[in-house]
Copies of this chain bind each other. A is one copy, B any other.
Amino acid sequence: MATAVSPLAVPLPVLPPLAGVRLGATAAGIRYKGRTDLVMMELAASTTVAGVFTSSKCPGAPIDWCRDALAGGKARAVVINAGNANVFTGKAGVETTKASAAAAAKLVGCKPKQVFLASTGVIGEVLPHDRLTAALPALHAALDPDAWEAAARGIMTTDTFPKAATRTVDIGGTQVRINGIAKGSGMIAPDMATMLCFVFTDAKIPSGLLQDMLKKGVDRSFNCTTVDSDTSTSDTVLLFATGETKHPRVKDDDAAMLKAFSAALADLLLDLALQVARDGEGAQKLIKIAVTGAASTKSAKRIAMTVANSPLVKTAIAGEDANWGRIVMAVGKAGEPADRDKLSIGVGGVWMARDGAVIDGYDETPVVAHMKGKEVDIAIDIGLGKGKATVWTCDLTHGYIDINGSYRS
C-alpha cells in the first residue's frame, strides 16, 4: 500500500565513496513490482566484520547464517533482499541462504561463509532463491562506489524514507570514514526488531575490537528505541572494516586508540536509530523520554522503555495531551523501584508534577505549545538514586492501525 512520507522524515545525506566498498541495487521481482528489492555490496579482501542480531528465539534463516559466518571474522560480500524475510520457512529457508551465499561467493571469488545475508519482509513464505541468484550476476557487474542512495532505497520495506548517515574521525592522526544505511519502521523494539543496519568503515580494525564497539553502540542507540514493543525475527546490525585506509596500526587490545572512532560510531548508530524511530509506522511525533534519579542505570532504562511502550502514553501524545497521569501509570507498572511520593514529571522542559502531586498552578501554556510540535520531550525523575537513561519512541496513531491492519492484503 502507498503511504505518505513520515512528517518526521529527514533529508537523505549524500554518502561519499568509502575505500573498499562497491555496491548497488536491482529489481529482482521477488515480491515488489516496479522497485528495487535486492542489494549487494562487495568488500575489499582484508575486510573484518562484527554483528549484533535479534534476541528472538525464532530468528530467520539468514540470522543463523550470519551468526555462523561471523565466527570467521572476515567478510567479502553482503546480499540483502526486501519483501520476504525468509523466516519460518523450514529447510527451504536454509537452502535459500546456502544458494544465495554460494552464488554471491562465486561472483566475488570468496568462500560462501564470507558472504553475509539479510532478508526482511513477510514471514513464512518461501523466498524463491532462483530469482535472487538469477539477478545477482548483472547486479554484481554494475557495482559502483557511489551507489549508497540506491542501496539505502533498495533495502526499504514499509519505510517511507531512506536512511543513511556518514561521519569522519581520526585514528592516530589519519582521517577515516564511517558510512551507514538502515531500514525499519515497525517492530523496532528492545533488541532491535525488524531493523537492518549496515555500517562500513575504511579503517583497519581487528574484529574483536569491532565487535565490542558495535555492541556498545547498539546498546545506546537501537536498543534505546521502540516503535511498538514488537521484536523482529530478522534484525541485524553488521559493521564492516575494509582496512583500505592506511593509519597507525590498531593492535587487538588497543581500545584506547579507538576512543574517538568508537564515539563517532555510536553517534552514527544513534543517528540511524532515530531516523528509524522517525519512520515509526504512523508516527506523527518523535518522543524522547529521559529518566533520572532511578535506583540504577538498568532500572532507569527499564522504566523509560515501559513508558515508551505504553499504548496509553503513546495515544495521549498523539492526541497532543500532556497526560502525565498515564506516565505515572507506566512508571508504576515497570516493576522497578519507584516511590509515588518522590516522583516528578515534566514535559517540554516544564515540571508539571513533583513529589507525588501536580504542581499547583504550573504554567500550562508552554506545555500545550510543546505538545503541538513534532518532537515531544518527557522528563521523569524517580527521586531515588543516580540511575539515568534516555530512550526514543513515536506516538501511536490511526496510521499504525491502517498500515498493520492490512499489511498482507
A residues 175-228 in Cβ contact with B at 8 Å: 186-187, 189, 191, 228
Pairwise interchain contact A329-B56, C-beta atoms closer than 8 A: yes
- A401 in the interface, Cβ–Cβ < 8 Å? yes
- List the B side residues contacting A331 at CB < 8 Å: 57-58
Given the known A-B contacts A57-B335, A58-B332, A333-B231, are A321 and B353 also in contact in the complex, defined by CB atoms under 8 Å?
no
Task: Give min CB distance, A227 to chain B, whole Å.
Answer: 9
| B332→A408 contact, CB < 8 A | no
A319 close to B (CB within 8 Å): yes
Q: Are A328 and B230 in contact (CB under 8 A)?
A: no
User: B residues within 8 A CB of A311?
Assistant: 228-230, 311, 396, 400, 404
Contact of A58 among B88, B310, B329 (CB under 8 A): B329
What is the minimal beta-carbon distance from A85 to any residue of chain B, in angstroms?
A: 8
- Complex alpha-carbon distance, A259 and B187, angstroms: 45
How many residues of chain A get a CB closer than 8 Å to chain B's CBs?
72
Query: How near does chain B come to A191, taking the closest CB pair, in angstroms?
Result: 8
Q: Is the CB of B328 within 8 A of A406?
A: no
Interface residues as binary, A85-118 with B (CB distance below 8 Å gives 1, 0 otherwise): 1011111110000000000000000000000000
Q: Are B404 and A312 in contact (CB under 8 A)?
A: yes
Chain B: which residue is nearest A329 at the CB level? Answer: B233
Residue of B329, B334, B401 near A318 (CB, 8 A) is B401
Q: In the complex, which residues 357-371 of chain A have their Cβ closer than 8 Å to any Cβ of chain B?
A: 357-358
Bitwise, A44-81 to B at CB < 8 A (1) or not (0) is 00000000001111110000000000000000000000
Task: Give how many copies assemble into the complex.
Answer: 2
Q: Which one of B57, B231, B321, B340 lies within 8 Å of A340 (CB-CB)?
A: B57
How far, in whole Å, are A14 and B228 apart by their CA atoms in the complex? Answer: 41
B90 touches A341 (CB 8 A): yes
- Let me know if A189 and B57 touch, CB within 8 A: no
When distances are taken between beta carbons in the complex, the residues of chain B under 8 Å from A125 are: 358
Complexed CA–CA distance, A371 and B401 (Å): 17
Q: Are A357 and B409 in contact (CB under 8 A)?
A: no
Query: Which residues of chain A from 120 to 135 have a CB within 8 Å of any chain B CB?
Result: 122-125
A236 within 8 A of B: no
Query: What is the CB-to-nearest-CB distance from A359 to chain B, in angstroms, rounded to a whole number?
Result: 11
Q: Does A326 sit within 8 A of B, measured CB to CB?
A: yes
Contact check, B356 vs A59: say whether CB atoms are below 8 A apart.
Answer: no
Among candidates B309, B321, B326, B336, residue contacting A57 with C-beta atoms closer than 8 Å: B336
Q: What is A's interface to B at a CB cutoff of 8 Å? A: 54-59, 85, 87-93, 122-125, 186-187, 189, 191, 228-233, 309-312, 315-316, 318-319, 321, 323-326, 328-341, 343, 353, 355-358, 396-398, 400-401, 404-409
In the complex, 29 of the A-B residue pairs with CB atoms within 8 angstroms, ordered by the A residue number, are A54-B332, A57-B338, A57-B339, A58-B338, A87-B328, A88-B343, A89-B357, A90-B355, A90-B356, A90-B357, A91-B357, A122-B325, A123-B326, A187-B312, A187-B329, A228-B312, A229-B229, A230-B326, A230-B330, A231-B329, A231-B333, A315-B400, A316-B404, A316-B407, A319-B407, A319-B409, A321-B409, A323-B407, A398-B401
